[in-house]
């Protein structure tokens, strides 16, 4: 009986890993360290640049971004669901795309 219980627990753990792993593997991330400027499309899509070269693009949730806004990254490696600061407010980034 104990052997069967261990087998069932192992099966459930493995199933959990299989269900969670694709989400981790598909999470989009990019290194935005060293960005020097940005442009805004609409009110929530931001493209970050290193000089005149586009580095990456992401959508910003819960914030309106203006051309004169101040963007501060909490870390250089930004992934879907991470927070950044825009004009002193916490904002969530989604759909991170590398443009390198």
- The pLDDT assigned to 2 comes to 59
**pTM of the predicted protein model:** 0.71
Unique residue bearing structure tokens 């949730």: 61
Return all residues near 80 (Cβ < 8 A) that are at least 6 apart: 27, 28, 29, 93, 94, 95, 96
* Residues 28-84: tens digit of each pLDDT: 899 998 899 999 998 789 999 999 999 999 999 988 899 999 999 999 999 999 999
Strands 53-61 and 45-50: antiparallel
Which CA distances in Å does 32 have to 7, 14, 56, 67? 44, 34, 7, 18
The answer to whether residue 11 scores a pLDDT higher than 70 is: no
> For residues 10 and 56, what is the distance between their CA atoms, to the nearest angstrom?
40
């Amino acid at each position: 009986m104990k052997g069967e219980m261990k087998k069932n627990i192992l099966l459930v753990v493995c199933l959990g890993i299989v269900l969670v792993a694709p989400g981790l593997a598909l999470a989009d991330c990019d290194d935005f360290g060293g960005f020097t400027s940005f442009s805004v499309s609409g009110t929530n899509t931001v493209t970050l640049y290193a000089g005149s070269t586009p580095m990456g693009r992401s959508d910003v949730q819960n914030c309106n971004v203006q051309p004169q806004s101040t963007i501060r990254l909490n870390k250089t490696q930004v992934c879907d669901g991470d927070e950044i600061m825009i004009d002193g407010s916490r904002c969530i980034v989604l759909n991170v795309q590398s443009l390198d």
